[in-house]
Amino acid sequence: MLLDNRRLLPLIALQQLLLVLALWPQLQLWIVAVGALTLSVRAMMLWRGWRAPPARALALLAITGTLLLAWQWRALGTLPALINLLWLGYSLKIIEVRRERDIEQVLLLAFFLIALTLVQRQSMGWTLAMAGALWLAVTALVTAVAPEQKQPWRNAGFSLLLALPLLLTLFLVLPRLPPLWQMPTTSRALSGLSEEVAPGDISELVNSSELAFRVTFTDGPPPANDRYFPVMRQELFDGRRWRLSAEIRQWQQAQPMQTAPLQASAGALPGASYEVIAEPQRHRWTLALPRPRVVSGPVQVSPLTTLYRRDRGDQRISYRVTSEPTAPKADLAARRLNLQLPPAGNPRARAHALTLAARYPDRAALASALLDEFRREPFYYTLQPPQLGPDGVDDFLFNSRRGFCGHYAMATAFVLRAAGIPARLVTGYLGGEWNPRGNYLEVHQFDAHAWVEYLNEQGDWQRLDPTAAVAPQRIEGGMTAALSDEFTAADPLSLQRYRNWALLNQLRWWGANLDYQWTRRVLNYDAALLWQQVGARWPVLASHTAWLILACLLGVATLVGTLLLWPGRAPPQQRLWRPLRRRAARLGWQPAEGESLASWCARLGSLVPLLARPLARCAWLYRRWRYAPLSPRQRQRVWQQLQRRLRQTCRAWDGQR
């Protein structure tokens, strides 16, 4: 069972290609190169007769690769480093296969890599791709064990189909268990907003077309100009960056992490609520409409009246939220905190703020006047603003006048505070794309946005978005409407480039909806909810869940075992002769032990002389079909002749009897 079968190596190569594509964000380029090199050397050994590399060379390569990974360990993170180490061992083992046990280890590593990939990627497309990789791996195993089989992929597919009932039963009836161990952390950068914001940070997210979250509303989506999803509220400004307050950071540190469940409760959505499926983020903050109240799910309301995840933030979660009718009033500490400014810096902006405060004593009037300045003066909304100097607010307001939403929001919050009005920066998402196929809102990372909240005369936080004054099309039509040329250039591979292509846009919506339904109905499924419903309907069964699960598993195992033990269908050549055998058996003329088919036909011909010639013809056709060196077309023609002759012989038998 060596790796010298010419059908086996291509199977392993195809499976390796699928795994490389799936694990590409985690794999280092040089690790992939080592895998390609070892596979190429193995192919040359098979087709060109190259000698196997010496064991010392393989050992040196393994030690060098391990040392390089150890050197990169901190930069990669524990989980990516372990994945690369496993791939290195898998690649080197392919070239080292010499014994029967070696190929078993190669395929065992392949099974482990497939499982590890499904931990990382769980979308519908990647699940199907890994199912294909699993089928290739099982086919390779069948080819290695039984190289004489002509169609090993059929046996591999049959084996996987036999395992499918048990897999579905485990998925449907076994509740999700808390993890027995915690996955190692990764240093791979996740997309999302940062807890600290400087000019230009928000515009960097526009380069990412990654999905941020999807929302399903019971009463339809809010209007486009009201789709503000706050995530964080930064209240400290150090002259360059806006940060979370010290009180909020202390609150963060006091929040424990939850491992399960990570899904909202099942069933219909309550009225005036919405369900969010949030993708992994770089932090534990997550989004909701203003004034959220949690209905279900692994989130909680923070002191900033935004949502905070109970998990680490590196998994997909779902939760259900509704909105409170009113927001809490700001206390005296919040008023003082949101008037904080550095003691020096940006003198022109401070002077301008005092001028506005003297001219407009009413806070709403001052905010409106500030927006009018943005509309009236030559300010530009762009993804490529110039670099700002030490006094960034002054440089932006009076010199460059070119910026993204973060520039405008930070300058507005600074001027309001300098004018004596409590204000804070809000970062989150704005807009999104409505998917008519699935009736949900889809928001990507390029929909990230920054705006301002200031304290009005009544003591309520009032939203103020300077982007609406400079680029109103950003509010109504999204990023593609506001910056179509710059946005298209930011991510040339994004499917958003083809929104104006009707057919491609429909296909994009269709694919996104398939993945959304897969996430809602498969990835978010938990059998615990099923057993809760069973217990509510039949209370007598509520305390016997474990026995019911065991009964389901035993029932499926019995069904699969019965299918395995059920007598298989006879080969075609046996089924073809069965009618003649049945007629001969009625007279006691069935074939004797060890008697060939030709001898039996000759014996029947001596017993039934009228059928001697047809029986001899049938025996000759059978030998020709079975042993003659025929082409597939000729073999098919002989098989049809044999079928016709046997039917004629059976009719003649019945007629003479």
Which amino acids are annotated catalytic? 405, 449, 465
Question: Which residues contact residue 220 at a Cβ distance below 8 angstroms, ignoring those fewer than 6 apart?
Answer: none
- Separation CA 457–CA 443 (nearest Å): 34
DSSP letter at 398 equals I
- Separation CA 186–CA 180 (nearest Å): 19
Residue with tokens 């978005």: 465
- Separation CA 265–CA 95 (nearest Å): 50
Q: What's the sign of the alpha-carbon dihedral 210, 216, 220, 225?
A: negative
Beta strands in 392-534 (DSSP E): 402-403, 423-430, 433-435, 440-444, 448-455, 461-464
Residue with tokens 């080197």: 92
> Dihedral (C-alpha) 392, 393, 394, 395: value to the nearest 10 degrees?
50
> Dihedral (C-alpha) 126, 130, 136, 141: value to the nearest 10 degrees?
170
Task: List phi, psi (to 5°) of 433.
Answer: -115, 130
8 A C-beta contact, residue 426 and residue 453: yes
DSSP 234-262: E-EE-SS-EE--HHHHHHHHTPPP--S--
* Alpha helices for 456-501 (secondary structure H): 467-470, 472-477, 479-482, 484-490
Residues 616-637: b if buried by 16+ CB within 10 A, e if exposed: ebbbebbebbeeeeeeeeeeee
- Separation CA 199–CA 385 (nearest Å): 9
Q: What's the sign of the alpha-carbon dihedral 33, 35, 38, 41?
A: negative
Encoded amino acid at 312, one letter: R
Strand partners, 309: 299
Q: How far is CA 522 from the centre of its chain?
A: 12
Ramachandran area for residue 547 (φ above 0: left; ψ -120 to 50: alpha; else beta): alpha
Question: Which residues contact residue 149 at a Cβ distance below 8 angstroms, ignoring those fewer than 6 apart?
Answer: 142, 143, 155
- Separation CA 205–CA 430 (nearest Å): 13
8 A C-beta contact, residue 513 and residue 438: yes
Q: Enumerate long-range contacts of 88-91, CB under 8 Å, 24 or more apart.
A: 88/31, 88/34, 88/62, 89/62, 90/35, 91/31, 91/34, 91/35, 91/38, 91/39
Q: What's the sign of the alpha-carbon dihedral 392, 397, 403, 405?
A: positive
